[in-house]
Amino acid sequence: KEHIAEVEKFTTKAKEDIENFRIKYLGKKGLLKEFFAEFKNVPNEQKKEFGQIVNQLQKAAQEKVNALKEVLENNVEEKSVYGDLTRPAEPIEIGARHPISLVKNQITDIFSRIGFNVSEGPEIEDDWHNFTALNLPEYHPARDMQDTFFIQTNPDILLRTHTSSVQVRYMENNQPPIRTISPGRVYRNEVISARSHCFFHQIEGLYIDKDVSFADLKQTLQHFTKEMFGKSKIRLRPSYFPFTEPSAEIDVYWGLETETDHKITKGTGWLEIGGCGMVDPNVLTNCGIDPEEYSGFAFGVGIDRIAMLLHQIGDIRLLSENDVRFLAQFKSAL
């Protein structure tokens, strides 16, 4: 048994020492030969234990010789059971978040802090959820406002043109109070250029409760733009959407008054980021909510627009081309 301990402790880097060690234990006149010869003299009741120990010793000696030789030949450190703890780690290539995801996460964070949850829905929609429930009956001229990609007609199946369709689904399945935001990809049959694409990303918000007013809408948007852009002003320009009344476009005045050196593309500094309004009572009725009891507001902003503004991206196509030279620039962003 002491021999086994000795064998396990033994270490050297010299070739001759390994050879001497081998001869001492495993050689023709080595210790093991002796032990095996001794075997016949061992009393019967001890034979089993003796045999086991000698076998163990032989194995340990052979393994040690092999291991030492390997160290010598390959010039590597003797392996510990944990592997080589001094070996430097391989550098891990870390990717970057996409600017669309960055901005989407920022927006959902801002709204979740004021009690909004996140809802999602399908990108392939039926006519009801994208149009009819939103107060756009068939042949309504406002359907032309959104150049739709149809997958099938009669019954119509299409690529959603806005995430308002998710809000319809949400209202159909939940009673007020409702506070939800719906981010997602939307599609419109538009000519692709630096400023517009046939798909982009929206985040729409919906708030329905008793006594919700236009003042609540404006305050909420003001809070959002302040969190998003820092010191900022918003302007609501009267507009028209079939699903809201009254309706407005949301402009944000950003950059010139902030202490940054970001350039503003237009001289005035006002940039349109989306639309909003008070949910039309017809929409509430269509979705099973009583407009006598409840009122609410809705808004929708373009994620791509905001990402382009915040990160000074000059061409919307960069957002979907997957050029690593572009994407790698967002590595430090969280």
By the criterion CB under 6 A, which residues form the site for ligand PHE? 162, 164, 204, 241, 244, 247, 274-277, 298-300
Question: Is residue 258 within 8 Å of 228, Cβ to Cβ?
Answer: no
Task: Pick the closer one to ligand PHE by CB: 58 or 167.
Answer: 167
**245 among the known binding-site residues?**
yes
Task: Pick the closer one to ligand PHE by CB: 92 or 191.
Answer: 191
Task: Pick the closer one to ligand PHE by CB: 57 or 100.
Answer: 100
Summarize the chain as % helix, strand, coil (round to 5).
Answer: 40, 20, 35
Rg (CA), the chain: 37
Residue 273 and residue 306: Cα distance in Å, rounded? Answer: 7
Tell me the closest approach of the beta carbon of residue 249 to ligand PHE, in angstroms. 9
Question: Is residue 303 within 8 Å of 100, Cβ to Cβ?
Answer: yes
Question: Is residue 201 within 8 Å of 104, Cβ to Cβ?
Answer: yes
Task: Pick the closer one to ligand PHE by CB: 204 or 251.
Answer: 204
Task: Pick the closer one to ligand PHE by CB: 3 or 162.
Answer: 162
Tell me the closest approach of the beta carbon of residue 199 to ligand PHE, in angstroms. 13
Tell me the closest approach of the beta carbon of residue 332 to ligand PHE, in angstroms. 32
Residue 188 and residue 163: Cα distance in Å, rounded? Answer: 12
Tell me the closest approach of the beta carbon of residue 323 to ligand PHE, in angstroms. 28
Alpha-helix runs per DSSP H in the chain: 2-9, 15-26, 31-38, 44-74, 99-113, 127-130, 164-173, 214-229, 281-286, 303-310, 324-327
Task: Pick the closer one to ligand PHE by CB: 21 or 241.
Answer: 241
Tell me the closest approach of the beta carbon of residue 234 to ligand PHE, in angstroms. 15
Tell me the closest approach of the beta carbon of residue 274 to ligand PHE, in angstroms. 6
> Which 8-state DSSP code applies to residue 320?
G
**What are the beta bridge partners of residue 67?**
none
Residue 19 and residue 10: Cα distance in Å, rounded? Answer: 13
Q: Which residues are annotated as a binding site?
A: 245
Q: Which residues are annotated as a binding site for Mg(2+)?
A: 245
